[in-house]
Amino acid sequence: MAGVKFPQKGLPAAELKSLLHDLKSNDMDWRNYRAFSMVFRAGEDVADIVMSALGEYVFENGLSPFAFPSLLRMETEVVAMTADLLNGGETAAGNMTSGGTESIMMAVKAARDYAREKKPEIKAPELVMLRSAHPAFNKAAHFLGLKTVIVPVSDASVVDLDVYRKAFSPNTVFAVGSAFSYPHGIIDPIGEMAAIASEKGVWFHVDSCVGGFILPFMEKLGHPIPPFDFRVPGVTSMSADVHKYGYVSKGASVVLYRDADLRKYQLFVYADWSGGVYATPCISGARPGGPVAASWAVMKFLGYEGYMRLAAEAMQATKILIEGVNKIPGIFIIGKPLATTFGVGSKSLNVYAIGDKMKQRGWHIDSQHLPPSLHFTVSPMHLKVVEPCLKDLREAVQEVSAMKPEDVSGDAAIYGMIGSMPDRSQAKEITTQ
């Protein structure tokens, strides 16, 4: 980078600390509860536990279970607690990873290597996913040499199961459903999708990166959540992020397999290194101890009861927001989100311009396309701001309703262009890349 050189002299600690603080001045301010993505918030008591655990384990290295048996113990317990939550029974096995993407990467790698062993005739393995599934699957396929077969979803984010079935070929080694998807919070028909995969003899993964630590509690609270976990026959593996609705800081996810035999396809061992036998379960070598300790500590701190309370609060905030959006003429909720994430679309207004107006009022709401929409991921702490948020949204919509198309500028115009591109699902039923 031009102009940046390695510093000759160090800075005094106090100056450095204030510099670090100042550097954040243009960052998204998530502390005021006005952001609906990126950071999941449960409250100061949980944040305090996270900070203590991170502080306690900040330099520990999860690479060696011999040097740090406490980290191995905590990881084993976090995996076991997550398997219990997702009905994996006594047989489920897994690991902690750095996040959803790594968990997904490991599941795809395990499925690929499983197929290499069981179906050696497959030379060009394929991965079947819906357009609404997270791009971490495209990334995993790209890294691991699989071809993606993308199945379209409707504008309400619903899959046509006949089209889904046709996406499978003799080369399919991995298929995925989301519970729930990020863009619109839709729970895919996991039972039906897993049954199709199972009929074809294909590994089926449930991506519960966002949903894994809230859907089980919502179900217990009596919300109508269709079965999405290991209770569903045909579900081979799952991903669930502790750094989302588990309320831990970033760097914590769990990948789970129906049994330990399947997990072994994820592992890497090299015995001929001059440094000794090198064995790692996931992608990273050295692994930060902090996220493991924080996950263990928050699960123990909150317990089932604490997570139930937080799920109820997040659901209440979501209900108020969704009911409020439904009362604002010109905008609507996309599809039928059952949980705490949703998209807001419009047939007549430029939603990106609405997002810009919200930004001017201090809200951070991401834009999405296919179809154009604004994204809301709701945390329990949003209960504090739902009314001002709806008031500002009403005003923003009114202002945009009064705008002429030529008045739409900046980000909104650019996103608007993307949003007005033809929906590719109309052109091709299934696209491959």
Rule CB under 6 A: which residues touch ligand PLP? 99-101, 134, 136, 178, 181-182, 207, 209-210, 241
Give whichever of 103 and 346 is closer to ligand PLP, judged by the CB atom. Answer: 103
- Could you tell me the CA-to-CA distances from 256 to 150, 285, 370 in Å, in that order? 24, 20, 31
Minimum distance from CB of 104 to ligand PLP (Å)?
6
Q: How do strand 373-377 and strand 431-432 relate by DSSP bridges?
A: unpaired
Give whichever of 134 and 357 is closer to ligand PLP, judged by the CB atom. Answer: 134
Angle between helices 69-85 and 289-326 (to 10 degrees): 30
Exposed e or buried b per residue across 61-88, where buried means at least 16 C-beta atoms within 10 angstroms of its C-beta: ebbeeeebeebeebbbebbbbbbebbbb
Question: Residue 425 half-sphere exposure, CB side, CA atoms within 13 Å?
Answer: 19
Sheet holding 332-333, edge to edge: 332-333, 341-345, 373-377, 367-368
Distance CA 410, CA 420 (A): 16
Q: Tell me if 161 sits within 8 A of 193, measured CB to CB.
A: yes
Give whichever of 75 and 102 is closer to ligand PLP, judged by the CB atom. Answer: 102
Minimum distance from CB of 67 to ligand PLP (Å)?
27
Give whichever of 101 and 236 is closer to ligand PLP, judged by the CB atom. Answer: 101
Minimum distance from CB of 229 to ligand PLP (Å)?
15
Minimum distance from CB of 139 to ligand PLP (Å)?
9
Minimum distance from CB of 197 to ligand PLP (Å)?
18
| Continuous H helices in 29-99 | 44-56, 69-85
Say how many residues make up the chain: 433
Instruction: Give every CB contact of residue 115 below 8 A, 6+ residues apart in sequence.
Output: 122, 125, 173, 174, 203
State which residue has the least CB distance to ligand PLP: 100
Distance CA 279, CA 123 (A): 27
Closest by Cα among 78, 19, 121 to 240: 78
Give whichever of 181 and 346 is closer to ligand PLP, judged by the CB atom. Answer: 181
Minimum distance from CB of 405 to ligand PLP (Å)?
32
- CA torsion through residues 409, 411, 417, 419, sign: negative
Return the bridge partners of 268, or none.
Answer: 280
Give whichever of 207 and 356 is closer to ligand PLP, judged by the CB atom. Answer: 207
Give whichever of 210 and 256 is closer to ligand PLP, judged by the CB atom. Answer: 210
Minimum distance from CB of 215 to ligand PLP (Å)?
12
Minimum distance from CB of 325 to ligand PLP (Å)?
21
Minimum distance from CB of 377 to ligand PLP (Å)?
8
Backbone angles phi, psi at 45, to 5 degrees: -65, -40
Distance CA 288, CA 282 (A): 13
Give whichever of 40 and 68 is closer to ligand PLP, judged by the CB atom. Answer: 40
Minimum distance from CB of 89 to ligand PLP (Å)?
24
Give whichever of 209 and 389 is closer to ligand PLP, judged by the CB atom. Answer: 209
Look at residue 240 and give its three-state secondary structure.
strand
Give whichever of 210 and 248 is closer to ligand PLP, judged by the CB atom. Answer: 210
Give whichever of 97 and 172 is closer to ligand PLP, judged by the CB atom. Answer: 97
Q: Tell me if 257 sits within 8 A of 91, measured CB to CB.
A: no
Minimum distance from CB of 210 to ligand PLP (Å)?
4
